[in-house]
């Protein structure tokens, strides 16, 4: 390796030769044919390892000078020389993963634990995964080679190693390590932690998952500071220079990312979600460090793994002991952080929170950087004149750029980030503390061993060179980044031409990525088609699901309210509720419904980048602010605050995470721990993914005019679909690999047996097939991004399975071949997106590192479609910067690095394509002969074949909709009519026989089924009428008559087939269901349950010209009840009812009853009962009436009614009962025991009133004489006092005789003239 570089740097071999050498793998062709340089020939076997070597070389060289931002180690394998194992070029430091793998917090600790035991004591701080990057990473740096040797071959990613190595100056070389003041205590603590913990055991199964969950929730952020740092592979520079560094460059506190300059800023940065980062806690422990002494390379893998056995115990303890240990200091620290953040915010955001100028996001950061010099190191001024090793640097830059351009590096953005780090390096540490470095350098003889990057000037020179080479990529970055680059003084100083190009690029760029509205929680709407009773096997299931839906949203609201509060724990607060819910779901087999709801809600809440956790974004556009309105400004402000605070630079390769609302869904799945639910959810996700993946998103035949409009829509649709797919795929990946997730990298033995086991099972979703197909169909721009999301969640074993190995291979192939350039096959940004996501995937911790550099890219899987298929997407410019940055928020790190200030983020709130639920179709067409049918089908296909695809889609769409509408129409008309008739029939029958309701129902339905067949005829009519209309409207005007008519016919036929197929299969069931539902409703409504003959009369209307100004029923009810209360209940002496007032009340009652508008059955029934009660009280003279002095006229009238005003009231009542009530009045209640008992107490004379009432009832035909008679007779059976009984009998006979003697009266009042006295006398 070094030899090649040596040749290059000694100028013995030109760069182009090296590139050529690199491009052609060994064994491809004879070297001579490719004009491989002679000197490189003997080295051809090393070729594969050269790129990693080069990358590592650059990192090593620059490690001292880079102080800004997290380190940018590539996930490069070690050189062969250091491999102890088959696959082992890479050192995957266990703890290294911790920073990357936020998903697996426990694993972090585990790995740390294991590593610790194998060498020096670890810091206490490291045992909690939540520590800041510096503390976490420090230990790793000390034993990189050890790690490499032992961990090789397992999916560990050496996240931190590089940075650590960097900080420890070539420590990684294993020859010696300089102690880092910060690192040592950290290591020690960790050890302590591990040992103390190992004793305490703990339940694990759920914890394991839980840890997955926790990683992000609080702790993660702090971890993420160091995200992206990973240890790089071993470099054979071991023996060269390893200058002792007194500074831990990775300590963010001492060497904060640019813009965060000093310790205090750093501390102020943690977002509020960060769990306490014991920044200060570790300080007291700092001591001059002692470096680890073991030679990592020689460390045996066995010892490395043996220490891993205590994993679980350690994990458990880690949570408990350590946190408690630190808690006190944490509290303080939290306070400190709060204050500092406050301070920072005041500086950073303008007071209004709105006036942030979108164009100058750097402003606040200026404020901060202004204070930098005072705080710590001044930024070194880079001077082109001071550059040394120019020639070599140029060579390196060219070589490096070629590697980037040829996709030979695993992640081009990681390299760009690195380059920008160089560009923005401050270099203070080197210039001030680097003397020893230089000395060492001078001592080294090899060119490759020399320090080419010892000064800021050199770094910047190199960076600008590389940027120049990579101009094309850079010019495709979003505008804000371009602006910062264009404004960069160093670029201007080192390369005026690049500066000019960048300025031009910036000025012409339209690639503005803006902040969109964050979406708040919204519910999934209830859709009767999928959610109503008919979709459930039983009432119980339906009702339980009803409850589950409400509980689900309750949980969601609770989470939304509280999850950011300190101490809130998902599992503790919601766990049991969720499991109870799951138990209910299991009991009623409602999982499928719930899975659907869950998935829909997931998409609704998380498809936007907020839920997708963009930590990057532009300041909001003014129009967005306007949209927000003043109400939401505070919300926006909070949001900004969050982003401002958490914007510490995380590096361009954050591990997969579940940011924002996704957290809820992930935690829900974990807490539920339901096998059934997971299965249903996976099924549901797979279905949706396949469906979305197959959507035809573009229209390839835009005529000129509509092209722009169509493209815009297409882009929008594409991005909505893409984002949804990525979200769904991430959750699918999460679920699929969840059972296999281990905290720790399994040992080789375990891995082998696991691979053997799992190789036998089929994948849940055949991503390989989909991937191949997408490549073939040129739809990889849609498919690869979601497959990447899916794969990012693999467990440690999965990548080694035959199946996934193939998938990774194929992806790698795609990556290698997708050289960035504008070409016809694929637009630049499409490619850039694919490269960005793939590059990211290759850095994901559980993806084995050797994959990228050791996998032979075979050509077998690569079958690019030669003919552009109709659904090809790759060639369509679908990706813009907005989508690129939404999918890869980590690209924003580049800008953060440049500006180190961001406010806000991007979000997207697109509508989702509505899915049309197809109506189940069964062929209804008259059965023609099979051959004929087949021919018809062929003709139809042929017809469509030469027509634009839109025609087919239109026809199918119309058919689908018309068919569906037809069914709805039939339901609303024919079925509704039938149901109405059934209702009448049932009402009649129910009255006749109170017998068997079920039988009754069956009978009625059977009568209707006959009529139900009408549905088919009507359905055909409907389709025939509506289909053509719709087709005509939707097709272009210019469509030829013949085509149109054919299209219409096909649409009608398809629609008819669909609709009638459904109807014929379901109409009887539908009728029965509807009738049954109506019947049940009927039985439930009081008063309607057993309707009388005139039930229909009930629904009468107001009298013509009614103004609806009658008193409300409720008011009248109240007033009558008041009267009753006075009559019955305890009352004051003085409390009387004014007679005239009562009369008016009855008048109002009459009005109220006439106006039907506000009347409902219950009101009317209540009125009926109350008035009967009132009548009973009146006839027994229980109502304390007061007679006001009346006008002569009215009093004379009153005289007419036989002196007693009560007669008038009774007469009014009778008339109201007769004329105004629409419901039968229960007048028979007059004869209830209770009411008659009132009578039994009254004096003789009041029988007059009762008798009057009896006659009245008969006269007004409210009761038949015979009915009255029987009522009276049945009264005689009751145990009355004998006197009363006698009177009762007498009354009965009087009534009868009078009534029979007389012909019906016209004026019932005359009845009163004959009193019982008179008769008996």
Which residue number, 33 or 1132, has a Cβ lying nearer to other proteins? 1132
- Beta-bridge partner residues of 1137: 1185
Cβ 185 to other proteins shortest distance, Å: 47
Which residue number, 568 or 1112, has a Cβ lying nearer to other proteins? 1112
Which residue number, 316 or 555, has a Cβ lying nearer to other proteins? 555
| Structure token pair of residue 557 | 């609201």
Cβ 911 to other proteins shortest distance, Å: 14
Whole-angstrom Cα distance, residue 652 to residue 228? 6
Whole-angstrom Cα distance, residue 666 to residue 209? 10
Which residue number, 803 or 1112, has a Cβ lying nearer to other proteins? 1112
Which residue number, 484 or 1127, has a Cβ lying nearer to other proteins? 1127
Cβ 1097 to other proteins shortest distance, Å: 19
The pair phi, psi for residue 146, each rounded to 5°, is: -55, -50
Which residue number, 432 or 561, has a Cβ lying nearer to other proteins? 561
Which residue number, 1109 or 1189, has a Cβ lying nearer to other proteins? 1109
Which residue number, 750 or 1083, has a Cβ lying nearer to other proteins? 1083
Using DSSP's 3-state secondary structure scheme, residue 142 falls into helix
Cβ 534 to other proteins shortest distance, Å: 7
Whole-angstrom Cα distance, residue 680 to residue 590? 10
Residue 1198 · residue 1205 · CB < 8 Å: yes
Whole-angstrom Cα distance, residue 889 to residue 726? 14
Which residue number, 1081 or 1200, has a Cβ lying nearer to other proteins? 1081
The pair phi, psi for residue 122, each rounded to 5°, is: -100, 160
Cβ 557 to other proteins shortest distance, Å: 7
Using DSSP's 3-state secondary structure scheme, residue 712 falls into helix
CA angle 279, 889, 842 (to 5 degrees): 90
CB atoms near residue 363 (< 10 Å) = 17
Using DSSP's 3-state secondary structure scheme, residue 996 falls into coil
Cβ 59 to other proteins shortest distance, Å: 49
Residue 901 · residue 365 · CB < 8 Å: yes
CB atoms near residue 983 (< 10 Å) = 17
Which residue number, 176 or 1158, has a Cβ lying nearer to other proteins? 1158
Cβ 710 to other proteins shortest distance, Å: 21
Which residue number, 693 or 1173, has a Cβ lying nearer to other proteins? 1173
Cβ 662 to other proteins shortest distance, Å: 20
Residue 1127, H or E segment: helix 1113-1128
Cβ 1234 to other proteins shortest distance, Å: 6
Which residue number, 497 or 1244, has a Cβ lying nearer to other proteins? 1244
Residue 187, H or E segment: helix 183-198
Cβ 982 to other proteins shortest distance, Å: 14
Which residue number, 558 or 711, has a Cβ lying nearer to other proteins? 558
Cβ 795 to other proteins shortest distance, Å: 35
> Distances in Å between the alpha carbon of 1185 and those of 616, 1123, 1178, 1188, 1211?
82, 10, 9, 9, 16
Residue 440, H or E segment: helix 435-443
Whole-angstrom Cα distance, residue 62 to residue 65? 5
Which residue number, 304 or 1247, has a Cβ lying nearer to other proteins? 1247
- Beta-bridge partner residues of 1320: none
| Structure token pair of residue 915 | 């899915």
Cβ 576 to other proteins shortest distance, Å: 19
**Nearest Cα to Cα of residue 1271 among 1295, 1249, 1252:** 1295
Cβ 984 to other proteins shortest distance, Å: 17
**Ranges assigned E (strand) in 329-472:** none
Which residue number, 740 or 1112, has a Cβ lying nearer to other proteins? 1112
| Structure token pair of residue 412 | 């081009």
> Distances in Å between the alpha carbon of 601 and those of 492, 519, 526, 556, 1005?
50, 12, 12, 10, 40
The pair phi, psi for residue 1003, each rounded to 5°, is: -60, -50
| Structure token pair of residue 548 | 């589950």
**Nearest Cα to Cα of residue 598 among 529, 542, 680:** 680
Using DSSP's 3-state secondary structure scheme, residue 123 falls into strand
Cβ 914 to other proteins shortest distance, Å: 16
**Nearest Cα to Cα of residue 94 among 168, 155, 184, 10:** 155
Buried b (16+ CB within 10 A) or exposed e, 1082-1112: beeeebbeebeeebeebeeeeeeeeeeebbe
Which residue number, 396 or 578, has a Cβ lying nearer to other proteins? 578
**Nearest Cα to Cα of residue 228 among 337, 73, 393, 107:** 73
Q: Interface residues with other proteins (CB under 8 A)?
A: 520-523, 525-526, 528, 531-534, 542-543, 545-546, 549-550, 552-554, 557, 629, 631, 1077, 1081, 1086, 1112-1114, 1117-1118, 1121-1122, 1124-1125, 1128-1130, 1132, 1157-1158, 1160, 1162-1163, 1166, 1169-1170, 1173, 1226, 1228-1229, 1232-1235, 1237-1238, 1240-1241
Q: Radius of gyration (Cα) for the chain, nearest Å?
A: 43
Whole-angstrom Cα distance, residue 799 to residue 746? 13
- Total residue count of the chain as it appears in this document: 1321
Cβ 634 to other proteins shortest distance, Å: 10
Cβ 425 to other proteins shortest distance, Å: 46
The pair phi, psi for residue 1207, each rounded to 5°, is: -55, -40
Whole-angstrom Cα distance, residue 479 to residue 513? 8
Cβ 716 to other proteins shortest distance, Å: 21
Which residue number, 1134 or 1303, has a Cβ lying nearer to other proteins? 1134
- Beta-bridge partner residues of 1185: 1137
- Per DSSP, the residues of 152-184 read TTSS---TTHHHHHHHTSSGGGSS-----TTHH
Cβ 836 to other proteins shortest distance, Å: 36
Which residue number, 856 or 1241, has a Cβ lying nearer to other proteins? 1241
């Amino acid at each position: 390796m070094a030899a090649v570089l040596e040749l290059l740097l000694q100028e013995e071999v030109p760069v182009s030769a090296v590139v050529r050498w690199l491009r052609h793998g060994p064994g491809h062709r004879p070297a001579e044919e490719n004009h491989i340089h002679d000197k490189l020939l003997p080295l051809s076997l090393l070729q594969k390892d050269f790129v990693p070597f080069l990358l590592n070389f650059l990192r090593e060289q620059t490690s001292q000078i880079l102080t800004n931002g997290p380190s940018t180690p590539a996930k490069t394998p070690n050189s062969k020389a250091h491999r102890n194992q088959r696959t082992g070029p890479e050192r995957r430091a266990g703890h290294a993963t911790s920073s990357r793998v936020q998903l697996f917090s426990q694993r972090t600790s585990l790995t740390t634990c294991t590593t610790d035991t194998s060498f020096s004591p670890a810091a206490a701080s490291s045992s909690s995964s939540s520590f800041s990057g510096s503390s976490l990473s420090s230990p790793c740096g000390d034993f990189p080679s050890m790690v490499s040797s032992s961990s090789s071959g397992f999916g560990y990613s050496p996240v931190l190693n590089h940075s650590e190595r960097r900080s420890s100056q070539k420590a990684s070389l294993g020859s010696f390590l300089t102690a880092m003041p910060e690192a040592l205590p950290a290591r020690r603590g960790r050890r302590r932690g591990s040992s103390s913990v190992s004793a305490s055991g703990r339940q694990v199964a759920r914890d394991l998952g839980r840890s997955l969950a926790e990683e992000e929730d609080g702790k993660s952020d702090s971890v993420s500071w160091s995200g992206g740092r990973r240890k790089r592979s071993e470099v054979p520079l071991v023996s060269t220079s390893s200058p002792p560094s007194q500074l831990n460059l990775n300590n963010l506190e001492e060497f904060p990312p640019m813009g965060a300059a000093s310790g205090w800023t750093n501390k102020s940065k943690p977002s509020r979600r960060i769990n306490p980062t014991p920044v200060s806690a570790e300080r007291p422990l700092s001591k001059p460090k002692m470096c680890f002494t073991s030679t990592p390379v020689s460390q045996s893998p066995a010892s490395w793994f043996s220490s891993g056995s205590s994993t679980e115990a350690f994990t458990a303890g880690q949570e408990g002991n350590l946190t408690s240990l630190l808690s006190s200091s944490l509290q303080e620290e939290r306070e400190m952080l709060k204050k500092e953040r406050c301070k920072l915010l005041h500086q950073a955001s303008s007071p209004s929170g709105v006036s942030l100028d979108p164009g100058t996001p750097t402003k606040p950061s200026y404020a901060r950087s202004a204070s930098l010099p005072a705080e710590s190191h001044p930024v070194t001024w880079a001077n082109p004149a001071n550059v040394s090793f120019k020639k070599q640097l140029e060579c390196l830059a060219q070589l490096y750029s070629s590697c980037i351009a040829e996709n030979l590096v695993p992640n081009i953005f990681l390299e760009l980030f690195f380059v920008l780090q160089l560009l923005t390096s401050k270099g203070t540490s080197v210039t001030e503390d680097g003397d020893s470095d230089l000395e060492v350098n001078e001592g080294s003889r090899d060119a490759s061993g020399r320090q080419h990057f010892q000064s800021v000037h050199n770094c910047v020179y190199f960076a600008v060179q590389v940027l120049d080479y990579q101009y094309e990529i850079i010019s495709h970055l979003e505008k804000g980044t371009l602006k910062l680059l264009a404004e960069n003084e160093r670029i201007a100083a080192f390369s005026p031409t690049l500066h000019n190009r960048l300025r031009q690029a910036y000025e012409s760029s339209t690639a503005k990525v803006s902040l969109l509205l964050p979406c708040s929680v919204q519910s999934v709407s209830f859709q009767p088609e999928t959610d109503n009773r008919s979709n459930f096997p039983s009432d119980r299931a339906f009702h339980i699901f009803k409850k589950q839906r409400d509980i689900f949203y309750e949980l969601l609201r609770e989470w939304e309210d509280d999850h950011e509060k300190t101490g809130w724990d998902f599992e503790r607060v919601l766990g049991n509720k969720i499991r109870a819910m799951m138990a209910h779901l299991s009991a009623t087999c409602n999982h499928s419904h719930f899975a659907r709801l869950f998935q829909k809600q997931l998409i609704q809440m998380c498809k936007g980048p907020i839920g997708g956790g963009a930590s990057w974004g532009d300041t909001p556009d003014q129009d967005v602010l306007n949209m927000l309105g003043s109400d939401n400004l505070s919300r926006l402000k909070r949001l900004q605050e969050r982003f401002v605070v958490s914007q510490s630079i995380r590096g361009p390769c954050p591990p997969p995470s579940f940011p924002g609302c996704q957290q809820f869904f992930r935690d829900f799945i974990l807490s539920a721990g339901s096998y059934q639910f997971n299965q249903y959810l996976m099924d549901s996700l797979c279905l949706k993914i396949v469906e979305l993946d197959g959507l035809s998103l573009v229209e390839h035949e835009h005529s000129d005019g509509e092209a722009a409009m169509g493209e815009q829509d297409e882009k929008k649709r594409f991005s909505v679909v893409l984002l949804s797919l990525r979200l769904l795929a991430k959750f699918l990946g999460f679920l699929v690999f969840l059972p296999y997730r281990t905290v720790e990298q399994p040992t080789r033995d375990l891995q082998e047996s696991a691979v053997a086991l799992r190789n036998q099972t089929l994948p849940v979703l055949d991503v390989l097939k989909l991937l191949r197909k997408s490549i073939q169909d040129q739809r990889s721009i849609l498919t690869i991004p979601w497959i990447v999301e899916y794969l990012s969640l693999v467990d440690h074993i999965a990548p080694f399975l035959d199946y996934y190995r193939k998938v990774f291979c194929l992806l790698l192939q795609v990556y290698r071949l997708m050289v960035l350039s504008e070409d016809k096959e694929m637009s630049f940004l499409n490619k850039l997106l694919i490269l960005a996501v793939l590059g990211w995937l290759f850095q994901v911790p559980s993806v084995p590192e050797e994959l990228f550099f050791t996998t032979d890219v075979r050509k077998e899987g690569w079958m690019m479609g030669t003919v552009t298929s109709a659904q090809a997407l790759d060639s369509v410019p679908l990706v813009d910067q907005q989508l690129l940055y939404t999918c890869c928020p980590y690209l924003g790190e580049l800008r953060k690095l440049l500006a180190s200030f961001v406010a806000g983020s991007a979000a997207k709130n697109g509508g989702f394509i509505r899915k049309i639920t197809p109506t189940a179709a069964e062929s209804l067409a008259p059965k023609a002969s099979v051959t004929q049918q087949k021919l018809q089908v062929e003709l139809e296909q042929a017809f469509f074949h030469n027509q634009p695809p839109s025609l087919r889609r239109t026809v199918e769409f119309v058919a689908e909709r018309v068919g569906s509408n037809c069914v709805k129409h039939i339901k609303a008309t024919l079925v509704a009519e039938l149901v109405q008739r059934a209702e009448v029939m049932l009402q009649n029958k129910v009255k006749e026989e109170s017998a068997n309701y079920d039988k009754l129902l069956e009978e009625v339905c059977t009568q209707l089924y006959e009529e139900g067949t009408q549905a088919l005829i009507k359905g055909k009519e409907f389709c025939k009428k509506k289909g053509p209309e719709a087709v005509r409207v939707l097709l272009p005007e210019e469509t030829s008559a013949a085509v149109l008519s054919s299209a219409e016919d096909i649409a009608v036929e398809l629609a008819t087939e669909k609709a009638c197929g459904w109807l014929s299969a379901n109409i009887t069931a539908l009728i029965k269901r509807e009738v049954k539902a109506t019947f049940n409703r009927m039985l439930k409504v009081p008063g309607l349950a057993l309707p009388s003959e005139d039930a229909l009369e009930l629904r009468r209307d107001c009298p013509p010209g009614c103004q609806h100004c009658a008193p409300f029923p409720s008011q009248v009810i109240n007033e009558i009840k008041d009267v009753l209360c006075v009559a019955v209940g305890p009352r004051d002496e003085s409390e009387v009812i004014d007679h005239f007032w009562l009369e008016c009340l009855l008048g109002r009652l009459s009005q109220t009853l006439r106006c039907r508008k506000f009347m409902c059955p219950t009101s009317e029934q209540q009125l009926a009962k109350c008035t009967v009660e009132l009548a009973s009280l009146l006839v027994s003279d229980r109502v304390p009436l007061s007679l006001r002095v009346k006008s002569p006229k009215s009093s004379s009238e009153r005289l007419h009614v036989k002196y007693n005003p009560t007669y008038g009231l009774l007469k009014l009542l009778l008339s109201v009962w007769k004329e105004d009530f629409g419901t039968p009045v229960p007048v028979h209640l007059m004869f209830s025991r209770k009411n008659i008992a009132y009578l039994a107490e009254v004096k003789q004379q009041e029988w007059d009133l009762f008798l009057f009432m009896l006659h009245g009832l008969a006269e007004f035909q409210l009761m038949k004489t015979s009915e009255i008679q029987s009522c009276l007779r049945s009264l005689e059976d009751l145990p009355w006092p004998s006197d009363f009984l006698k009177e009762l009998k007498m009354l009965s006979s009087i009534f009868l005789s009078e009534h029979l003697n007389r012909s019906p009266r016209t004026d019932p009042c005359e009845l009163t003239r004959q009193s019982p006295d008179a008769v008996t006398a």
